[in-house]
Amino acid sequence: MCKALCSVILLCGFALVVSAGQQQNLDLTKADVVRAKDKPTVYVSFERAGERKPIYARESNQGIWLRMHNNTRWAISFSTESLYIGPKITPLRLSDGRGALGLRDDVEISPWYEVEAVRSHES
């Protein structure tokens, strides 16, 4: 379980992209970007661990739930296992004025991620 938690946290960290759009002013300070000044711009917190319905064959029925926090004024984009439509989405206005569809707060998703096997070389 610890290995899975570490993998998901690392993958979420690498997969998250904070997109600033077409920002013209690059002289932004942290105060211009973050909502809560005592928190990082994007961070993940542990919610719970427990049983879940496996998505793929040979997959464990144990899972972890993590909460991603966006503490910026910008949107975050990441890939998910499935398409989320209907009551799970909400219209958003991006910082550059464009409209977009986003997930509502507290929606559970299955993020798309890959674990790549690394071959080690022995000398």
pLDDT tens sequence across 59-75: 899 999 999 898 988 88
- For the chain, what is the mean pLDDT? 77
pTM: 0.60
pLDDT tens sequence across 85-118: 889 999 988 878 899 888 888 888 888 777 777 7
pLDDT at 46: 95
- Under 8 Å between Cβ of 44 and 12: yes
Return d(Cα 12, Cα 44) in angstroms, integer: 8
**Is the pLDDT score of 20 beyond 90?**
no
**Is the pLDDT score of 11 beyond 60?**
no
Start-to-end CA span in the chain (Å): 32
pLDDT at 121: 65
Return d(Cα 39, Cα 92) in angstroms, integer: 23
